[in-house]
Amino acid sequence: HLAHIAKAEAVRIDEAALYAIARGADGAMRDAESALDQLISFCGQEIAEADVLSVFGLTARGELLALAEAILAGEIETALRELDELARNGKDLGRLLSDLLNHFRNLLIYQVSRGDLRLLEVSETEAAALKGQSAQVGTDGLTQIMEVLTESEGRLRDAVSKKISLEVTLLRAIQARNAVSVDTLLKQLKQLQQEAGPAPVSAAASGDLALAQTAPAPPVSAPDSTPLRETAPEPPAAPVTTELSALWSSLVEAVGRVSPFTRSYLLKAFPVSLADGLLTVGFDSEFGDYIPLVDNPKNHTLLQTKLKELGLGDARVKFIQAQAPALATQASAPPARSTAQGAKPSSAAAAARANTQQKNDKSPPAKLDPADFANDPLIKQALELFKARIVEVRA
């Protein structure tokens, strides 16, 4: 419509100038016609984009695209330099922020519509820029950038120094370009879990547990004709379980002094068996996801070192998913008809387990080693996934 009016008035005006008038009028036809009439009065029969920009205090489309490109590329220095140059040239910074927000809105619609330019009123130059910039950022990042710019519009009106406020906004927008939505994070975590696959030791878990549970079965199956006095010294399961429980408690505490994170995982585990230099450690199905987190070369080396310090030589460790040993403990207990003398080992074993548990509950928390925290495999995976970094915050 503006081009038709200019042609009727015999005024030569380029396409960039027409788009600049439309931007300055915010799409209002009456304001655009009034602005065109003023430009004809000031500039005569030939109007260029620079004339429109000087009247409205607008930023040239090329400068606006360059600033948006710097934000998407994460070039902080370039973005601040562009802003400083625009401020020195007397551009309206509030208008600049509005134009920048409108550009990212066009870019988001371009991505969502898969390049359908019928939904946008842009020039060929801007359409080419949208096509190039759409490959540099995702829809989540664009949404976060637009939220940052929208929040800054209200603050910019009341800001004492608009330039400083806009500089902070540009820095926040650059940081927001890599934002990822919660849904996307959940999908990535699920994909990582699927790629890791089930624990390879799950098949052997039931077999090892069955051997551990059936091992004390032969002594229990003594003939009924055997006198009760002879059955009292038979069950060796309680002393062995007590020794293994005490060894496990000592091992967890020793590991906790070196790696508090590994200790937090091991607190959810329990010893299954110790035979032929192999310590089998079980996780209940509720904590089965912990197995991939602890079953790595670093933790194996740590556990073997601590077992050697506890006098077990070259003992090895194996992690499995198994049922909690409550049923095994009941099966290894002496029969109810045993004599009082035969019940004493069970009472002593229960007291030993209670003392061990009380000691574990009262043990002070291990100090957190910053180096160990940074080198933890799970922490490294989280930092890489979220593109984050570790900072120290002091009150």
Same domain, 268 and 121: no
> Looking at residue 353, what is its pLDDT?
54
Our count of domains for the chain comes to 3
> Looking at residue 181, what is its pLDDT?
63
Last residue of a domain, one of 56, 74, 93: 56
Whether pLDDT at 204 is above 60: no
Buried residues in 137-157 as b, exposed as e (16+ CB within 10 A): bbebbbebbbebbeebeeebe
The C-alpha atoms of residue 30 and residue 154 are separated, in whole angstroms, by 27
Whether pLDDT at 349 is above 50: no
Buried residues in 45-54 as b, exposed as e (16+ CB within 10 A): eebbbebbbe
Same domain, 267 and 369: yes
Q: What is the pTM of this model?
A: 0.44
Tokens of 14: 């380029």
Provide the CATH number for the domain around residue 369.
3.30.300
Same domain, 20 and 165: no
Same domain, 239 and 359: yes
Has residue 220 been placed in a domain? no
> Looking at residue 364, what is its pLDDT?
52
- Percent of the chain at pLDDT > 90 equals 16
Least confident of 154-158, 230-234, 244-248: 230-234
Top mean-pLDDT range of 100-104, 194-198, 252-256: 100-104
Has residue 228 been placed in a domain? no
Residue 198 pLDDT class (50, 70, 90 cuts): low
> Looking at residue 293, what is its pLDDT?
84
Provide the CATH number for the domain around residue 165.
1.20.272.10
> Looking at residue 121, what is its pLDDT?
80
Has residue 225 been placed in a domain? no
> Looking at residue 229, what is its pLDDT?
43
> Looking at residue 373, what is its pLDDT?
72
Has residue 283 been placed in a domain? yes
Same domain, 254 and 380: yes
Same domain, 146 and 272: no
Has residue 239 been placed in a domain? yes
Q: Regarding predicted confidence, which is higher, 349 or 41?
A: 41
Q: What is the pLDDT of residues 80-122, one digit of tens each?
A: 999 999 999 888 898 899 989 999 999 999 999 988 888 888 8
Mean pLDDT computed over every residue of the chain: 75
Same domain, 72 and 125: yes
Same domain, 242 and 382: yes
> Looking at residue 223, what is its pLDDT?
45
Provide the CATH number for the domain around residue 50.
1.10.8
Q: Regarding predicted confidence, which is higher, 30 or 360?
A: 30
Maximum Cα interatomic distance, the chain, rounded to a whole number of Å = 124
Q: Domain range for residue 34?
A: 2-56
Same domain, 136 and 154: yes
Same domain, 371 and 327: yes
Whether pLDDT at 171 is above 90: yes
Top mean-pLDDT range of 15-24, 27-36, 152-161, 379-388: 152-161
> Looking at residue 26, what is its pLDDT?
67
Same domain, 245 and 115: no
Has residue 393 been placed in a domain? no
Q: Which residues pair with 278 in a beta bridge?
A: 275, 316
Q: Which residues contact 15 (CB under 8 A, 6 or more apart)?
A: 123
> Looking at residue 342, what is its pLDDT?
42
Has residue 127 been placed in a domain? yes
Distance of CA 85 to the CA centre of its chain: 38
Least confident of 16-25, 170-179, 343-352: 343-352
Same domain, 243 and 320: yes
